[in-house]
Amino acid sequence: MAGIEHITVEADEAGMRLDRWFKVHFPGLGFGQLQKLLRSGQVRVDGGRVKTDARVQPGQVVRVPPLDVDLKSTKSGPIASKDLKHSDDGELLARMLLHEDDKVFVLNKPAGLAVQGGSGVNRNIDKMLEAWTNKRGEKPRLVHRLDRDTSGVLVIARTRGAAQKLTAAFRERDTKKTYWSLVKGVPRKHEDRISTWLVKEQTPDGDRMRIAKHGEDGADHAISYYRVIETAAQSLAWLEMEPYTGRTHQLRVHALHIGHPIIGDPKYFIDDPNWDFPGGVQRRLHLHARKIDIPHPNGGRLKVTAPLPPHMVQTWNLLGLDLDSATESDD
C-alpha cells in the first residue's frame, strides 16, 4: 500500500469529471470507495474538498491517500451480469461511458439492462442516473430508449435545455441510428427498404408487436432500411439496419416480417425444425445499436460508435465474420 500521492492533472485531462479521472488512474477503486474518501476529505483538489462530479483542470493537484485496493483488478471492459447486480450505479455508468461533454453523455448500454423501470425490472438506467445528479440537483435525462435485450449507444441529456433539443431531433428524425444484427438465413435482396404498419397486442408473455393492416386501429407506420454486410455459410447474415421511424421492437418485427428473424430474439425468433441453431452461439438477442449521428445541442453533429457486446463478439469470432469488412459503412 503506497503513501499519500499528489498527482498533477495533465493537459489532455482538462474538464474530466473527478470520478472519471480516478477511473483512469486507479481503476481498482470503486465508486462507493471514492465517495467515502471525498466525504472524509482524504481526497482533495488543490487542497480543497470536492465532489465526484467536480471537473479537473490542467495543473491542478489531486491529493490521493493510501488506497487499500488491488489496483491491478481493473474494472474496465465488458460488463458481466454479476456486475449488473452488485456494482455501484456510478461505477457502472462510468464503465458504460463512451462520450461526455457539458451537455451530453453517451453510454454503451449492456444487453439485459433496462432503460426504464417496469414490472419485473430491478435495476434501470433512468434510476441509476440519480448517481450523476449535479450540484444544482439536476439529474441527467433520457431522450430515447433501447429494448432491454438490445445493447449499444444510448444518448443522455445532462441539462433540461439539452434534453429539449435532443428530444426534438429524435421527434423530427434528424438523427441517424445504425444497428448491427445477425439474422437467420440470407435475404434475397442484399439491400432494401421495409415499410409496414405495426400494432401492439397483449400476449401471455407480455406486449408484442405484429404487422397490422393499413388503417387498423392503433397501428403506426414503420420504415426500416437494411443491407447485408457479410454472410456465414449462407445460413446466417450480418445486417446493418437503420430505423427511419422509432416504433417499439421495430427492427425485430421487420426482420421477422422479411423471413429472417434476429438470432436469439426471445419474442420474435421462432425455432424451425428444418434449421439448426448454430452451435456455440448464445441464445441472446444479436441486435446492437452500433452508431448514432445526432445534432449536438451546442451546434454541429455528434457521432458516437459503440463496440459490440461480449456475446456478439463471441459469435463473430466463431463464424469468422470480419469486423473490418464493415469499416466503410461504419465511418
Could you give the residue numbers annotated as active site? 147
Residue whose C-alpha cell is 435482396? 189
C-alpha cell recorded at residue 23: 477511473
C-alpha cell recorded at residue 186: 440470407
Please count the CA atoms within 13 angstroms of the CA of 293 that sit on its side-chain side: 9
